[in-house]
Structure formats: C-alpha cells, structure tokens
Amino acid sequence: MADSSPVQARPGAPGPELSAVLFHRRPPRPRVVVKADLLPAVSLLSLIGVLGIPLGWLWSLLAPPERVRVFDGGQLIPLQLESWHRFDDLAVYALLGLGLGVVTGVAVWMLRERRGPVVLIAAVLGGLLAAWLGVQMGVAFANSAYAVTTTPAVGDVIERAPRIESLWVLVAQPLGTALVYGLLAGWNGRDDLGRRLG
C-alpha cells in the first residue's frame, strides 16, 4: 500500500526563500495592468475633467476685475495700478489649479486596487481637461458677472471682467497631480505599489 502522507522536507534542506537567495532567483516583477485599468481610467479622466466647472466658477468669484476709464473712440484705459490685476487673475487660477491637482493626486492614490501608470496618465489628462474647461467656464462666468448693461459715457469708470491671457496656467493642475502621485509612489517603495491587499 502506497504511503499517502505529504512529502516532508529533509531536515537541513533549504526552504524556498533561502534557495531563492542561494541560487539568485528573483521573484517575478509585477507587470503593468492595462486592460483591467482602462475602463476605470477613462471614467476617472472624465470625472476629473468635470471638476473644471466648479474650478472656473470659484476663480470667477476670487479673481479681481480691472477698473478702466472710457475715453474717446471706446478706448478703455486702466486706472493706475489696476493693470496688475491681469497678473492676479493668472496667479489665482494657477494656485487654484495647483491645489486641485494636489488633492486629485492624493485622491487617485487612494484607489489602491488601480495604482499604476494607466491611472496616473488618466489623472494627468483629466487634470489638463479640467484646467482647459475651467478657463473656458471661468471666463464665461466672469463675463456674465461683470456685464456692462448700459452704454458707458466718456470718462466713466467701469469694471472689466477678469481674464486669463496665458494658457500656461493649464499646466498647474496636471503638474500638481503628477508630482504628488509620483512622490507617493516613490515613498511607497513596493514593486506593485501596494495593489495587492494583504
């Protein structure tokens, strides 16, 4: 009758961990998961992109208008020191975008089962979409808030709506997301970024 007892290791024989060290075998490196992460990444991209609407609305409330005087021929000349608000409008939007990017990077990192480059790329592209949408919607909100309802006379002082004159502000939000996500990934230090629970 055959012995059905489990095979036991010989005393003194190296275990699997020790034999891996002795014979220089490395455990297989985790692969990048693309198929399983693709649909959640697209959903994440669109969700982050929609955040541009409240971002633009908040910017339209915080950005200062520029006070200008009406001259002959419909010329609008800024009052003294009012032209500095053109920079203020850019700086306010860039700081709001950077802050939203940092929050987005942390929130995306918390999706432990989806950590990896696919979700990172989706978050960065979503941040770029949100920044662009925020500029478009923010300028529209500001124009409606500071609309001139009557024809101004020569010499009147009116408030010109805040505007964004440089598209470099679009970089702030995706940069914040990528920077925070990269720092968290480097701090994690695991090959699989902690995707496997347990």
25-78 per-position pLDDT tens digit: 666 666 666 777 788 899 999 999 999 999 999 999 999 998 888 887 777 777
pLDDT at 143 (0 to 100): 92
- Helix, strand, or coil here: 80? coil
Phi, psi of 73 (to 5 degrees): 80, 10
pLDDT at 119 (0 to 100): 92
- 162: number of Cβ within 10 Å: 27
Residue-wise DSSP of 87-123:
HHHHHHHHHHHHHHHHHHHHHHHT-GGG-SHHHHHHH
d(CA 172, CA 134): 12
- Helix, strand, or coil here: 10? coil
- 53: number of Cβ within 10 Å: 16
- Helix, strand, or coil here: 5? coil
- 43: number of Cβ within 10 Å: 12
Residues of the chain with pLDDT under 50: 198
d(CA 141, CA 143): 6
pLDDT at 198 (0 to 100): 39
Residue 80, token pair as written in the block: 């003294």
Contact (CB, 8 A) for 48 and 123: yes
